Amino acid sequence: MRTAILVDGGFYRKRAAYLWGKKTAEKRAAELIAYCNEHLNHERQYSDVNLYRIFYYDCPPLNKTVFHPLLQKGIDFRHSETYSWTNEFFNVLKHQRKVALRLGELSDEYASFILDPNKQKALFSGTISISDLQESDFHISFKQKGVDMKIGIDIASLAYKKQIDQIILIAGDSDFVPAAKLARREGIDFILDPMWAKVKENLFEHIDGLHSQWGKQNK
């Protein structure tokens, strides 16, 4: 059985940090490869499985200056820890055997700092004042372009060309459903890994299996 593993990178990095804490770019990349290999080992209980390729989907880091409303100055993300970490992480993945990096684009035209919703509620209710706000109460907001589309196109291409027999998708939302339905109609065994996050109950009718590896105790 030829297995392709597709990874929604933004989702994986967020869940991995939550489950297993922050790591260096090199260790996070090694962890990702080990996590995917664990899926292959699990599937080998049922059949002879060979890895076709790991497809990793993400966007380049933000590389512009964005005005911070509390600090009243621009923050240049090109000098941020996140920028250097992400680029190093991508570079490590590029050098891994059977790993394909699929990068979308950032729709950063309207990138801005957003106040935490709980802090907004407290501010407008008068529980706190502007002087009580801290830099950590704000987070950067921007949109990704092309990631979901690349995932869908690759699923369709792999299925139509009969290049694989099984797809393991590491993702957490329902945007994949149309592509999953197409793959299953083409005879592809479709496994979803939400990394222990909750998924909608109606998603089960569109996949062949739901399985997450490791757990919060495995770091």
pLDDT along the chain (219 residues), means of 10: 97 96 97 97 93 97 93 93 96 97 86 94 94 93 87 96 97 87 96 92 87 77
Residue-range definition of the domain harbouring residue 54: 2-107+144-210
Domain membership flag for residue 117: no
Q: For position 26, which CATH number holds? A: 3.40.50.1010
For residue 15, give the 3-state DSSP assignment. helix
CA dihedral 33, 39, 43, 49 (to 10 degrees): -20
Domain membership flag for residue 189: yes
Query: In this structure, what DSSP letter does residue 7 have?
Result: E
C-alpha distances in angstroms, 38 versus 33, 45, 213? 9, 12, 7
What is the reported pLDDT for 78? 92
Domain membership flag for residue 215: no
Residue 62: CA count within 13 A, CB half-sphere = 22
Q: Which pTM does this prediction carry? A: 0.89
What is the reported pLDDT for 218? 58
Domain membership flag for residue 52: yes
Q: How many domains does the chain have?
A: 1
What is the reported pLDDT for 201? 80
Domain membership flag for residue 217: no
